[in-house]
């Protein structure tokens, strides 16, 4: 599964944020997007996920194409794109338990299988036995892992991450980053990561600078 | 939902509400065109003093309520008790104006508890004196009642902002930052938080202002009587069989509308007032941090407790001669009488539940579907029932329901109540609804749950506290309606409020207290139910 984006223009009638951008993310690859604040990185993720209208309250418009394995998703609603999102905040739903947050993401099917998927995800995240807990009682690192597992349980065909590590301290970031990247590579999910952290860039496959006069290239270039 | 169907649905929603609102306003203004009414108004010798009283009571009560609210918020902020204060508001908010006025009148009346507690040992009185302690000619009782009733409303409006997680976190951080720059907590509040909060309370302040200038039921109970305020004079004219008196009543409503408009323009100054935002760098002396309830709120709550106690005691009092502090005999006759005429209770409940349901459904749909700029543009229209004098509003409403042949009918009454309830529900719900993190919608969509599944499983459960509180506010507003019920209902429908206000002018203390008590109990039950529905989920597994 590969993700490709051909952007002609992104912005409002008053201000163009991005134009003439093309990017290709092969299966299991992680492309980091970096650039100054306000350069349109988060808006680009929203446009790819199909949530630009919701997140910009209809202010921004995307002119371009989003393809997953060649399939044009430009007119597919967000809920049917199969593109997962991870934000800076974990956004665990406060009215649901940890397990219910995970169950929310599991596609429809026999209840036993759905619950088994949740238990498996909890185990993978090292959170066995914590499913009935209030998410507010988890540590920052635990919450971040639940958020990732929730995104993965929806079986995304691509994952978009908007500074998902920035709220974690350095030690937790160092643990969580390989955890996330490992899962994505193992499941061959193409991913875009918006970040300001050079450590993220170093461990990603490629880097694309937006709004800075530099060319894109391999992360280790 | 796609953009075009969404806009079409928003347009339909707008039309459903805008048409009756615009028609009512136009018909109300049309009633002002009768020259005979204006002539009669100009020639009525009571009008100058009545207008003066309206301006005095309305403006004084608004300014005092605004400053009282600001001071209470500052006290609560310094003491870290804003959240606790917000939780205590429903009981104060639920007390209808008329019930509060009746209770306060029983406290302050010459035969009331205040004089009973001082007699005869201090006053030497063994019969009630002929003092103008209620319905005083200066309108002081009316001002006191308005201030005591409007402070909880403004506090609640502030709480709806404060309970937005994003604003709360930002303001707390900014206040903390100001204290690190050497400002005391109280000064940090006044300099940093209040200037940001005050403009967000503009619409609630206008509602308070318009209400204070134009209130009728409260003024009938505790306001000056000869002459009364202009709103009461207008109401008396509207009830008259003489068409010229009707036109004079409408004209008086027009004068009040003008007064509200001018005062609304001046209210910008009031909002800027407490800012005192001179950035002079002056720091207050460090205060010792205090905790607990703000003293001002305790005072207010104490007054409410006394008023409600007066209603409770009054409703079961049998023989109660002056200056006995407690009734000599107790009787349930008043409550039996209330139970015997339960029709008014059921009418009140049916109207309250019906109008609240309609207003809440409309508000949710509107907030969900309407683009923000549409919402901003039509808010003044939606808030018209708050800004126009009630006496003028009911004239327009009557003009609307008459050709539809629903005057004196249940459907007309439901329409009248819904149009009054709607702005309050919208005011109550908007901060939480519009403050809802849009990333949750994006996240849910990325997990395959957009549209109804997202609303039913995520958004509305997370907003249930605000939804329930807004419904309780709607019920309280409907229960308190007096003029629309009488006028649009053509006197054919009795509610607990119309009964309480009508009885207040008579001498049946027990029955009046019982109806006023019931008028208080219904919204309290609504708020209690809302608190239960809206309480956060309790997770079964405790943290280690």
Contact A80 B541 (CB under 8 A): no
> Mind listing the pLDDT tens digit for each residue in A113-152?
999 999 999 999 899 999 999 999 999 889 999 999 999 9
Residue B111 pLDDT exceeds 90: no
Do residues B328 and B320 touch, judged by C-beta distance below 8 A? yes
Where are the alpha helices (H) located in B31-139, listed in sequence order?
35-43, 47-78, 82-94, 97-108, 113-118
Residue B191 gets which letter from DSSP? Answer: I
Which of B169, B376, B447, B452 to substitute to test the interface with A, most A CBs within 10 Å?
Answer: B447
> Mind listing the pLDDT tens digit for each residue in B252-281?
999 999 999 999 888 877 675 444 455 556
For residue A137, the chain B residues in CB contact (below 8 A) are 539, 543
* pLDDT > 90 fraction of chain B, expressed in percent and rounded: 64
Contact A78 B541 (CB under 8 A): no
Residue B544 pLDDT exceeds 70: no
pTM above 0.80, yes or no: yes
Single out the residue of B443, B540, B534, B165 nearest to residue A134, CA to CA: B540
Q: Which of A104, A137, A151 sits opposite B449 (nearest CB)?
A: A104
Do residues A2 and A190 touch, judged by C-beta distance below 8 A? yes
CA B433 to chain A, closest CA, distance in angstroms equals 14
Q: In angstroms, rounded to a whole number, what is the distance separating the alpha carbons of residues B187 and A152? A: 49
Average pLDDT on B43-57 reads 95
Specify the range with the lowest mean pLDDT, choosing from A107-121, A191-205, B276-290.
B276-290
Q: In angstroms, rounded to a whole number, what is the distance separating the alpha carbons of residues B306 and B310? A: 6
Interface check for A105 against chain B (CB to CB < 8 A): the answer is yes
Contact A57 B445 (CB under 8 A): no
Do residues B444 and B454 touch, judged by C-beta distance below 8 A? yes
Average pLDDT on A37-53 reads 91
Contact B450 A77 (CB under 8 A): yes
CA A82 to chain B, closest CA, distance in angstroms equals 7
Contact B438 A80 (CB under 8 A): no
CA B432 to chain A, closest CA, distance in angstroms equals 15
Burial class (CB in 10 A: 0-12, 13-18, 19+), B368: middle
Interface check for A88 against chain B (CB to CB < 8 A): the answer is no
**B234-240 — which CB contacts under 8 Å span 24+ positions?**
B234/B389, B234/B391, B234/B392, B235/B391, B235/B483, B238/B391, B238/B394, B238/B395, B238/B487
Contacts of B261 (CB under 8 A, 6+ apart): none
Single out the residue of B222, B219, B249 nearest to residue B235, CA to CA: B249
CA A221 to chain B, closest CA, distance in angstroms equals 33
Q: Which two tokens stand for residue B203?
A: 């619409």
Between residues B544 and A158, which one has the greater pLDDT?
A158
Contact A79 B445 (CB under 8 A): yes
Give the position of tokens 């918006």. Answer: A194
Specify the range with the lowest mean pLDDT, choosing from A153-157, B162-166, B294-298, B516-520.
B162-166
Q: In angstroms, rounded to a whole number, what is the distance separating the alpha carbons of residues B405 and B408? A: 9
Do residues B308 and B104 touch, judged by C-beta distance below 8 A? no
Burial B66-83 (b: 16+ CB within 10 A, else e): bebbbebbbbbbbbebbe
Residues of chain B with a CB closer than 8 angstroms to some CB in chain A: 3, 371-372, 437-451, 457-458, 461-462, 536-537, 539-541, 543
CA nearest B535 in A: which residue? A95
Residue B180 pLDDT exceeds 80: no
The per-residue pLDDT for B409 is: 94
| Mean residue pLDDT across chain A | 89
CA nearest A81 in B: which residue? B446
> Mind listing the pLDDT tens digit for each residue in B385-444?
988 899 999 999 999 999 999 989 999 999 999 999 999 999 999 998 988 999 999 999
Interface check for A42 against chain B (CB to CB < 8 A): the answer is no
Contact B447 A84 (CB under 8 A): yes
Burial class (CB in 10 A: 0-12, 13-18, 19+), B25: buried
Average pLDDT on B19-41 reads 94
| Mean residue pLDDT across chain B | 89
Residue B227 gets which letter from DSSP? Answer: S
For residue A92, the chain B residues in CB contact (below 8 A) are none
Contact B446 A154 (CB under 8 A): yes
Residue A72 pLDDT exceeds 50: yes
CA A132 to chain B, closest CA, distance in angstroms equals 6
Residue A98 pLDDT exceeds 60: yes
Q: Which two tokens stand for residue B335?
A: 């409550």
Contact B448 A154 (CB under 8 A): yes
CA B451 to chain A, closest CA, distance in angstroms equals 9
The per-residue pLDDT for B211 is: 93
- Interhelix angle B390-401/B3-30, rounded to 10 degrees, is 110
- Interhelix angle B202-214/B243-272, rounded to 10 degrees, is 140
HEC sequence for chain A:
CCEEEEEEEEECCCCEEEEEEEEEECCCCEEEEECCCCCCHHHHHHHHHCCHHHHCCCCCEEEEEEEECCEECCCCCHHHCCEEEECCCCCCCCCCCHHHHHHHHCCCCCHHHHHHHHHHHHHHCCCCCCCCCCHHHCCHHHHHHHHHHHHHHCCCCEEEEECCCCCCCHHHHHHHHHHHHHHHHHCCCCEEEECCCHHHHHHCCEEEECCCCCCCEECCC
Residue B50 pLDDT exceeds 90: yes
Single out the residue of A30, A61, A41 nearest to residue A206, CA to CA: A30
HEC sequence for B297-362:
HHHHHHHHHHHHHHHHHHHCECCCCCCCCCCCCECCHHHHHHHHCCHHHHHHHHHHHHHHHHHHHH
Beta bridge partners of A34: A209
Average pLDDT on A1-20 reads 91
Q: In angstroms, rounded to a whole number, what is the distance separating the alpha carbons of residues A3 and A24? A: 6
Specify the range with the lowest mean pLDDT, choosing from A30-39, B100-109, B166-175.
B166-175
Do residues B443 and A87 touch, judged by C-beta distance below 8 A? yes
Q: In angstroms, rounded to a whole number, what is the distance separating the alpha carbons of residues B178 and B196? A: 14
Q: In angstroms, rounded to a whole number, what is the distance separating the alpha carbons of residues A207 and B14? A: 48
At residue A220 the predicted structure's pLDDT band, cuts being 50, 70 and 90, is very low
The per-residue pLDDT for A219 is: 46
Do residues B211 and B150 touch, judged by C-beta distance below 8 A? yes
CA nearest B370 in A: which residue? A57
> Mind listing the pLDDT tens digit for each residue in B301-345?
999 999 999 999 999 998 888 889 899 999 999 999 998 888 999
Specify the range with the lowest mean pLDDT, choosing from A186-195, A198-207, B265-274, B488-497.
B265-274
C-alpha triplet B307, B311, B316: angle, nearest 5°: 150
CA B456 to chain A, closest CA, distance in angstroms equals 12
Q: In angstroms, rounded to a whole number, what is the distance separating the alpha carbons of residues B356 and A163? A: 43
Which A positions 2-41 lie with beta carbon below 8 A of chain B? none
The per-residue pLDDT for B151 is: 96
Contact A154 B461 (CB under 8 A): no
């Amino acid at each position: 599964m590969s993700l490709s984006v051909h952007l002609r223009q992104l912005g409002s009638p008053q201000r163009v944020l991005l134009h003439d951008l093309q990017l290709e993310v092969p299966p299991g690859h992680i492309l980091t997007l970096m650039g100054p604040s306000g350069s349109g990185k988060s808006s680009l993720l929203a446009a790819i996920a199909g949530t630009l209208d919701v997140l910009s309250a209809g202010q921004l418009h995307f002119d371009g194409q989003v393809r997953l394995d060649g399939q044009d998703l430009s007119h597919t609603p967000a809920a049917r794109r199969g593109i997962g999102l991870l934000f800076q905040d974990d956004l665990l739903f406060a009215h649901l338990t940890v397990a219910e947050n995970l169950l929310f993401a599991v596609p429809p099917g026999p209840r036993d299988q759905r619950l088994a998927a949740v238990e498996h995800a909890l185990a993978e995240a090292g959170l066995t036995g914590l499913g009935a807990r209030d998410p507010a009682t988890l540590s920052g690192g635990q919450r971040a892992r639940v958020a990732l597992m929730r995104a993965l349980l929806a079986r995304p065909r691509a994952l978009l991450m908007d500074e998902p590590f920035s709220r974690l301290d350095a030690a937790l970031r160092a643990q969580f980053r390989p955890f996330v990247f490992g899962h994505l590579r193992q499941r061959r999910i193409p991913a875009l990561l918006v970040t300001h952290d050079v450590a993220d860039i170093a461990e990603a496959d490629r880097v694309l600078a937006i709004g800075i006069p530099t060319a894109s290239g391999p992360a280790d270039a | 939902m796609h953009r075009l169907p969404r806009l079409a649905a928003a347009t339909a929603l707008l039309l459903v509400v805008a048409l009756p609102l615009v028609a009512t306003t136009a018909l109300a203004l049309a009633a002002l065109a009768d020259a005979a009414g204006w002539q009669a108004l100009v020639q009525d010798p009571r009008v100058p003093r009545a207008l003066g009283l309206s301006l005095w009571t309305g403006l004084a009560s608004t300014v005092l309520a605004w400053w009282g609210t600001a001071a209470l918020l500052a006290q609560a902020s310094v003491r870290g008790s804003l959240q606790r204060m917000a939780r205590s508001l429903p009981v104060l908010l639920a007390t209808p104006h008329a019930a509060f006025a009746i209770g306060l009148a029983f406290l302050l009346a010459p035969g009331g508890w205040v004089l009973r507690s001082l007699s005869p040992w201090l006053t030497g009185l063994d019969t009630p004196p002929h003092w103008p302690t209620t319905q005083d000619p200066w309108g002081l009782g009316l001002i006191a009642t308005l201030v005591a009733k409007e402070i909880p409303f403004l506090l609640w409006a502030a709480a709806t902002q404060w309970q937005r997680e994003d604003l709360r976190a930002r303001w707390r951080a900014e206040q903390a930052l100001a204290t690190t720059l050497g400002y005391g907590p109280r000064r940090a509040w006044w300099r940093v938080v209040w200037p940001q909060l005050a403009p967000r309370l503009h619409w609630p302040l206008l509602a308070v202002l318009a209400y204070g200038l134009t209130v009728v039921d409260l003024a009938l109970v505790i306001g000056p009587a000869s002459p009364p305020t202009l709103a009461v004079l207008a109401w008396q004219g509207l009830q008259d069989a003489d068409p010229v008196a009707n036109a004079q009543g409408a004209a008086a409503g027009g004068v009040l509308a003008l007064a509200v408009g001018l005062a609304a323009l001046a209210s910008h100054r009031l909002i800027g007032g407490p800012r005192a935002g001179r950035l002079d760098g002056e720091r207050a002396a460090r205060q010792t941090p205090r905790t607990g309830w703000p003293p001002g709120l305790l005072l207010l709550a104490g007054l409410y407790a006394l008023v409600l106690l007066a209603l409770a005691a009054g409703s079961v009092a049998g023989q109660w001669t002056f200056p006995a502090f407690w009734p000599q005999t107790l009787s349930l006759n008043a409550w039996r009488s209330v139970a015997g005429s339960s029709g008014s209770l059921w009418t009140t409940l049916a109207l309250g539940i019906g109008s609240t349901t309609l207003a809440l459904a409309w508000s949710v749909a509107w907030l969900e579907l309407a683009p923000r700029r549409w919402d901003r543009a039509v808010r003044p229209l939606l808030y018209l029932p708050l800004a126009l004098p009630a006496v003028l509003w009911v004239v327009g409403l009557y003009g609307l329901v008459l050709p539809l042949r629903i005057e004196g009918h249940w459907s007309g009454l439901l329409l009248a109540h819904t149009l009054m309830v709607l702005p309050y529900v919208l005011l109550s719900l908007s901060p939480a609804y519009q403050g809802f993190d849009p990333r949750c919608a994006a996240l849910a969509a990325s997990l395959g749950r957009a549209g109804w599944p997202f609303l039913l499983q995520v958004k509305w459960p997370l907003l249930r506290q605000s939804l329930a509180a807004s419904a309780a506010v709607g019920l309280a507003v409907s229960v308190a309606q007096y003029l629309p019920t009488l006028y649009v209902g053509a006197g054919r429908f009795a509610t607990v409020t119309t009964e309480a206000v009508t009885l207040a002018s008579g001498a049946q203390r027990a029955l009046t207290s019982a109806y006023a008590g019931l008028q208080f109990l219904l919204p309290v039950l609504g708020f209690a139910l809302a608190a239960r529905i809206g309480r956060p989920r309790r997770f079964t597994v405790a943290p280690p």
